[in-house]
């Protein structure tokens, strides 16, 4: 069993708790990051943006680069397939947006991304991966900004890439590597392979962050003890449960905490979330954006179908308040929900969609892949 870390060091950046919020498309916007940060220390990463979108001044990309006024450490996840674009994008983030940490996405399993050789497909091309990481690290170096990468085990069980990716990350000066213990083919199905995280820890000298199946603070402690990881990356486990970061912060500092909020306390959190979204986006859009979170917040609680339906239609804070008043504030937290998966799961993919002839060559240097400027899925 490994000792439990109490903080995380990424180059010059020190994170008070070794916990990173996983970038999730449509979820980890400035409002949600603020909400989570109010609960406990950690590194709160933005939604994924594309290097090409940033370099070419794409409007959608610009709108996603919004930070909360209290966001002292600006952290952005960048997606890209071209070393030149990645280098330019990293420089823009550091020079123009005051970003203190850049994470590169090589884990996205979405077919429209892997079809173009991006996301979780890219590490198969070891040479190209090295070129991209080298360009990113060189661009960030003058600003003293650490670059990290997130990846998966590989394309499928027959095409694993994570050990090579770890070696290349270390050789190119990457500050840490996060491993989601699933293959691209698995997407979000099945169980995460924590043994793979342990193997990567043994294989490299840079910090390894473990990702996959952290539903409670106790899972995070178990992961670092089992694998020797330097910290954890939490995604779906915090959906509708921002207080998980409070539990995580406490757990990593030796306290045994499992927050079991009443429906009244959850109601307060829902109101705060909608309020922050409204402050960042305007009330109508903020409330519409909040709708997707309702199911996660109310998971397992007594709230009838009609109530849930009405909450999924709100377009103002006043309408939200009226509906929230109708919830039973004394209802206890549904403990049967503890430790259960949240968010998307789905089935494994029949096959990973890749560019023609992708598997024929594991180098890929000089390949000119072109991502869409508005590619916005995480992974």
Residues 6+ apart with CB under 8 A from 15: 7, 8, 9, 41, 42, 43, 73, 231
Find residue 116's DSSP bridge partners: none
Q: Which of these, 135, 136, 104, 131, lies nearest to 120 by C-alpha position? A: 104
Contact present, 212 and 232 (Cβ < 8 Å) = no
Beta-strand pair 147-152/208-211: unpaired
Q: From CA 212, how far away is CA 341, in angstroms rounded? A: 10
Sign of CA dihedral 45, 227, 177, 98: positive
Residue from 36, 108, 238, 287 carrying the catalytic annotation: 108
Does residue 36 carry a catalytic annotation?
no
Tell me which H or E stretch contains 304.
none
* Residue 6 neighbours by CB distance under 10 Å: 11
Residues annotated as part of the active site: 108
């Amino acid at each position: 069993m490994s000792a439990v870390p109490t903080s995380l060091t990424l180059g010059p950046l020190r994170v008070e708790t070794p916990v990173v919020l996983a970038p999730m498309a449509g979820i980890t916007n400035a409002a949600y990051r603020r909400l989570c940060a109010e609960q406990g220390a950690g590194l709160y990463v933005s939604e994924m943006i594309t290097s090409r979108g940033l370099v070419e001044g794409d409007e959608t990309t610009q709108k996603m680069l919004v930070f909360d006024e209290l966001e002292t450490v600006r952290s952005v996840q960048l997606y890209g397939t071209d070393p030149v674009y990645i280098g330019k994008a990293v420089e823009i983030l550091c020079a123009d947006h005051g970003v203190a940490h850049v994470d590169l996405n090589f884990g996205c399993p979405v077919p429209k991304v892997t079809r173009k050789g991006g996301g979780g497909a890219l590490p198969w091309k070891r040479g190209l991966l090295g070129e991209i990481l080298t360009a990113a690290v060189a661009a960030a170096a003058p600003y003293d900004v650490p670059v990290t990468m997130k990846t998966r085990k590989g394309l499928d069980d027959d095409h694993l890439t994570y050990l090579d990716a770890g070696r290349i990350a270390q050789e190119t000066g990457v500050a840490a590597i996060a491993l989601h213990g699933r293959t691209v083919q698995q997407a979000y199905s099945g169980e995460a392979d924590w043994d793979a995280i342990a193997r990567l820890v043994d294989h490299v000298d840079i910090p390894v962050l473990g990702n996959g199946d952290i539903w409670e603070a106790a899972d995070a402690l178990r992961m670092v003890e089992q694998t020797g990881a330097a910290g954890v990356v939490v995604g779906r486990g915090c959906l509708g449960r921002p207080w998980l970061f409070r539990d995580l912060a406490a757990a990593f500092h030796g306290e045994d905490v499992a927050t079991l909020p009443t429906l009244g306390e959850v109601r307060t959190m829902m109101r705060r979330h909608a309020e922050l979204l409204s402050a960042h986006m305007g009330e109508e859009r903020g409330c519409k954006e909040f709708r997707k979170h309702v199911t996660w917040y109310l998971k397992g609680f007594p709230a009838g179908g009609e109530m849930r339906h009405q909450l999924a239609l709100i377009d103002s804070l006043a309408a939200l308040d009226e509906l929230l008043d109708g919830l039973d504030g004394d209802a206890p937290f549904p403990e049967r929900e503890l430790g259960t998966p949240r968010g998307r799961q789905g089935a494994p993919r029949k096959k990973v969609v890749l560019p023609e002839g992708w598997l024929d060559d594991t180098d890929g240097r000089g390949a000119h892949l072109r991502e869409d400027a508005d590619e916005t899925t995480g992974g």
